[in-house]
Amino acid sequence: MATAPKKTAAPKKAAAPAAAAKKAPVKKAAATKAPAPKAGAGQTAINVAGATGRISQVIGAVVDVTFTGQLPAILSALETDNNGNRLVLEVAQHLGENTVRTIAMDATEGLTRGQSVRDTGAQISVPVGPMTLGRIMNVIGEPIDERGPVGAAKSNPIHAEAPLFTDQSTEAEILVTGIKVIDLLAPYAKGGKIGLFGGAGVGKTVLIQELINNIAKGHGGVSVFAGVGERTREGNDLYHEFLDAGVIAKDADGNPTPEGSKVALVFGQMNEPPGARARVALSGLTMAEYFRDEEGQDVLFFVDNIFRFTQAGSEVSALLGRIPSAVGYQPTLATDMGQLQERITSTTKGSITSVQAIYVPADDLTDPAPATSFAHLDATTTLNRAISELGIYPAVDPLDSVSRVLTPAVVGQEHYDTARRVQETLQKYKSLQDIIAILGMDELSEDDKLTVTRARKIQRFLSQPFHVAEVFTGISGKFVQVEDTVKSFKAVVDGEYDHLPEAAFYMVGGIEDAVAKAAKLAAEAA
C-alpha cells in the first residue's frame, strides 16, 4: 500500500510539533512515580530534571552519556536533538566514571560525541485515557497518524509494578467472546493470556477485529493493540480495516475520531531500532492498565508479535555487554518476559485479557523465546490452514486449541461434557478420514456413518458470520451467548438435529438460526 512508508516516516515529522506537548506530561509523571534510584560505584543517582550530560560513545542502538556529578536513575528518560527530531534515550546501566549506558528509542544515525543530552527526571511516559482511542502512537507516545497531538489529560510511566496479590482477583471466570468455537472448546479466562498461533492468511486479523468488536459490544470494554516488530504494511492495513469495520469511528466528515472508537494502537515495527521494539509492548500495556485501573473496564490487549519483544531484547543485550545465554538470547529472558506478563491480570477493579500472536522460529517449540511465552499462557487458539481451505471461518482448530479454564469447576459440568463430546466426535471423524479417502463412505459401519455425518455438521456449525466481515460477506454477524452455544452443540451431538442438512449449519449463529436456514433451503428446493 502506498501509504505504508509514509506512516513510518511520519513520527519523525510529527515529533517536532508534538514535542512541546509531550514534555509537560513527562515531567508531571515524575511526581506520581519516580524510578527507584540506583547508584553506581561511588556515584550518587539523584533525579534532577534538567541535569545535562554529553554523549561519549555511540554503538548502534546503545549510547553512552557522561554526566558531571549527579547521575540519572536507571530507567530514566534522557532527551537529545537528532537533526531536529526529539530522540529519547532510556538509562539501562551505570558504568562508573560518571557514565550511564542508554538504549535509544529511535535511530542514532546523526548523533555525535560531545552532543548535549538532558535528563527529564522521569521515566518514558505515554498518554493514557479516552483520547488515545482511534489514534496511532509510537513507543514514546507521539502520534504517528498525522492528526495532531493526542491531547490526553494524563501520561503514565511505562514501567510499573505488577498488581499486589491483595489487589488481584482470584476468581476464575471466563470472558465471553460471542465466538462459538472459542467459548465452547477453548474459553478465555478473564485476565488471562491467550496464545494465537496461525500462519499467513488464515484469518488472525479478522479474528482479532471481531474480538475487539465483541468485547466493546458485550462488555463495553476497549482494546489496545501493540504492534511489536511486525511489518509496517500489516499495521497500515490493519488501521484501514479497523476504519472500514467501524472499530475506529469516523466523524461527520469521514475523519477518524476518538468518540466511539474501540481501540488504541501503538506501533514499533520491524524497521525500527531494537530499543523501540523492546519497549512498545510496555507502552501499550500502560494504556491498557489505565482503562482497567481508572475506568474499571475489561480490556483486551493484543500483542503482535510477542516473539519480537524477546528478539529486540536479545539485540540490545549484547550491546549492553551481557554474556548471551542459550541460543544467543539475553540472560534476562525469563525476567523480561515475566515483568511484562505479570502486569497482565485481573484485579478487583477490572481485567486485562491478553491475546498474543506467537511466532515460533523454525517451528521449534523448544526454542527459549516461545518456550518462555508458553509458561505464561492460560489458553491457546490455533488457526489451521486446512480448515480455512474448507471455507470454515473462523479457522480455529477445535482439536488443537486448549484452555486451562475448560474444567467443570469453572464452566460447569454440562459445558465441559458437551465440549469433550464435540471433540471426541471430531477426533473419531479425523481418524476415519483415511478409510473414507481409500474405500469411501459405503464401507463404514452404521455407527461410523452417523459419527461422520454429525462431525461434518459440527464442523460447519463451528463456523460463524462475523460483524466485522459483514461488508465482505453480506451476511449479518452473530454474537452467540455461551448458554446458547452449549445448548445448541449438546442437541447436535445428542442427534436431535440429525434430520437437518449439513448446509443448514454453515455460517449461522445458534441452533434456531440453523433450523430457520434449513426451512429456507427446503422452501427454495421446493
**Within this chain, do residues 118 and 138 fall inside the same structural domain, yes or no?**
no
Residue ranges with strand state E in 97-186: 99-104, 116-123, 125-128, 136-137, 154-157, 174-175
Q: Which residues are catalytic?
A: 204, 230-231
* Interval 127-144: pLDDT, tens: 999 999 999 999 999 999
Averaged pLDDT, 81-99:
94
Q: pLDDT grade, residue 37 (50/70/90)? A: very low
**Residue that the C-alpha cell 455460517 belongs to:** 507
pLDDT at 19: 39
Beta-ladder partners of 197: 382
CA distance 166 to 510: 40
Instruction: Assess whether pLDDT exceeds 60 at residue 26.
Output: no
**Within this chain, do residues 192 and 286 fall inside the same structural domain, yes or no?**
yes
Residues in the chain: 526
Q: 436-445 burial, b if ≥16 CB within 10 A, otherwise e?
A: eeeeeeeebe
**Within this chain, do residues 350 and 418 fall inside the same structural domain, yes or no?**
no
Averaged pLDDT, 354-382:
89
User: Could you tell me the CATH number of the domain that includes residue 457?
Assistant: 1.10.1140.10
C-alpha cell at 309: 519483544
Domain-embedded: residue 453:
yes
Max mean pLDDT range (16-25, 215-224, 398-407)? 398-407
Instruction: Assess whether pLDDT exceeds 80 at residue 315.
Output: yes
**Within this chain, do residues 186 and 58 fall inside the same structural domain, yes or no?**
no
The DSSP annotation for 146-164 comes to SS-----SEEEES--PPPP
Instruction: Assess whether pLDDT exceeds 70 at residue 28.
Output: no
Domain-embedded: residue 357:
yes
Q: pLDDT grade, residue 417 (50/70/90)? A: very high
CA distance 322 to 331: 7
pLDDT at 23: 39
* Interval 261-287: pLDDT, tens: 999 999 999 999 999 999 999 999 999
Instruction: Assess whether pLDDT exceeds 70 at residue 390.
Output: yes
Q: Are 316 and 187 in contact (CB under 8 A)?
A: no
**Within this chain, do residues 427 and 474 fall inside the same structural domain, yes or no?**
yes
User: Could you tell me the CATH number of the domain that includes residue 351?
Assistant: 3.40.50.300
**Within this chain, do residues 140 and 242 fall inside the same structural domain, yes or no?**
yes
Domain-embedded: residue 13:
no
**Within this chain, do residues 264 and 166 fall inside the same structural domain, yes or no?**
yes
Answer yes or no: is 69 a known binding residue: no
Max mean pLDDT range (30-34, 124-128, 221-225, 241-245)? 124-128
Answer yes or no: is 328 a known binding residue: no
Average pLDDT score, the chain: 88
pLDDT at 24: 39
* Interval 493-514: pLDDT, tens: 999 999 999 999 999 999 999 9
| Total number of domains constituting the chain | 3
**Within this chain, do residues 238 and 335 fall inside the same structural domain, yes or no?**
yes
Choose between 22 and 66: higher pLDDT.
66
**Within this chain, do residues 143 and 184 fall inside the same structural domain, yes or no?**
yes
Answer yes or no: is 201 a known binding residue: yes
Instruction: Assess whether pLDDT exceeds 90 at residue 432.
Output: yes
**Within this chain, do residues 64 and 93 fall inside the same structural domain, yes or no?**
yes
Instruction: Assess whether pLDDT exceeds 70 at residue 2.
Output: no
C-alpha cell at 491: 442437541
How buried is 508 (Cβ within 10 angstroms: 0-12 exposed, 13-18 middle, 19+ buried)?
A: buried
Domain-embedded: residue 374:
yes
pLDDT at 268: 94
> Which of 403, 435, 451 finishes a domain?
403
> Which of 122, 139, 168 finishes a domain?
122
> Which of 352, 379, 403 finishes a domain?
403
Q: Are 388 and 200 in contact (CB under 8 A)?
A: no
Instruction: Give all strands of the β-sheet with 402-403 in edge-to-edge order.
Output: 136-137, 263-268, 223-228, 298-304, 351-357, 193-197, 379-382, 402-403
Domain-embedded: residue 153:
no
Lowest pLDDT segment from 35-39, 139-143, 175-179: 35-39
Neighbours of 522 (CB within 10 A): 12
Helix (H) or strand (E) holding 299: strand 298-304
pLDDT at 338: 94
Answer yes or no: is 198 a known binding residue: yes
Q: 221-244 burial, b if ≥16 CB within 10 A, otherwise e?
A: bbbbbbbbbbebebbbebbebbbe
Lowest pLDDT segment from 80-94, 100-114, 192-206, 268-282: 192-206
CA distance 352 to 226: 14
Q: pLDDT grade, residue 452 (50/70/90)? A: very high
* Interval 394-416: pLDDT, tens: 999 999 999 999 999 999 999 99
Answer yes or no: is 205 a known binding residue: yes
Q: Are 272 and 324 in contact (CB under 8 A)?
A: no
Answer yes or no: is 471 a known binding residue: no
CA distance 3 to 232: 10
**Within this chain, do residues 116 and 132 fall inside the same structural domain, yes or no?**
no
* Backbone torsions φ then ψ of 436, nearest 5 degrees: -60, -40
Instruction: Assess whether pLDDT exceeds 70 at residue 38.
Output: no
Domain-embedded: residue 9:
no
This prediction's pTM: 0.81
Domain-embedded: residue 1:
no
The residue segments making up the domain with residue 50 are 19-122
**Within this chain, do residues 490 and 503 fall inside the same structural domain, yes or no?**
yes
pLDDT at 49: 61
pLDDT at 364: 83
Domain-embedded: residue 8:
no
